[in-house]
Structure 1
């Protein structure tokens, strides 16, 4: 994993400019640019402040980019759910809520 690429991806996902992230993390926008262009590596303290500004923890930052593999039966259900129209999806959600609450 490249730290600069991850910062840029998280920043863009959060809809933040380099300037806003820099301001909230207590660094300069130029420094954020250097991190994202892989010219610098942040200290743990600085990365922690960047993560805080992004609303995530250091653990979340370093977590795998790949979600855990779903069991086959869950994948099949997900494939079917994706094909449901909105009205049927709401009904299914209500049924699932009822089942989960009753356990």
Structure 2
């Protein structure tokens, strides 16, 4: 998905200038311009701030057009929706199906060593849970911090400030769910 083009299209549909969106999201209009020109990729937290300022959920932003009459049940790995496309050293978030058509959002998350969801703590409506498949991940929820290993999991109210960070030396993979789809 062309994130920059999609962001510009939605911003313009909502009648927002780059400057207005930047002010609402707490970013500079130069940053918005770079994102829209695909000259930089936003962190997960920055993209979430932008979409909250519009307002539009991550699920809606990345939702493909699926035929509502014949719901899709099975998805191949190549059919997952790239919410945060993988790039060198960055978090990759891949969504299973169109979360706008369901009450549950499922993500396949990959954190290379040193990658995190961004310096700003995430906050959004809903609850989320996940299980670490491989590697280790440091999870911060409100004032609690824990390093989770394969087989470990988490579950919390997403309205609490939270962050995910790979402080290890190997890639970490997490499968998570959020309900309702608000991320």
TM more than 0.5: yes
- Name the counterpart of 1:37: 37
Larger Rg: 1
- Name the counterpart of 1:20: 20
The 2-side partners of 1:70 and 1:7 are apart by 28
Instruction: Name whichever structure is richer in strand by fraction.
Output: 2
The 2-side partners of 1:37 and 1:55 are apart by 21
User: What SS does the aligned partner of 1:35 have?
Assistant: helix
- Name the counterpart of 2:8: 8
Count residues in correspondence. Answer: 70
The 2-side partners of 1:54 and 1:67 are apart by 23
Structure 1 segments unaligned to the other structure (5+ residues): 72-103
Q: Which runs of 4+ in 1 moved over 6 A?
A: none
The offset of 1:68, in angstroms, is 2.3
- Name the counterpart of 1:68: 67
Q: Deviations over 1:37-88 (max 9, x none)?
A: 1100000000001110111111111111x252658xxxxxxxxxxxxxxxxx
TM-score, with structure 1 as normaliser? 0.63
The 2-side partners of 1:37 and 1:10 are apart by 14
Instruction: Name whichever structure is richer in helix by fraction.
Output: 1
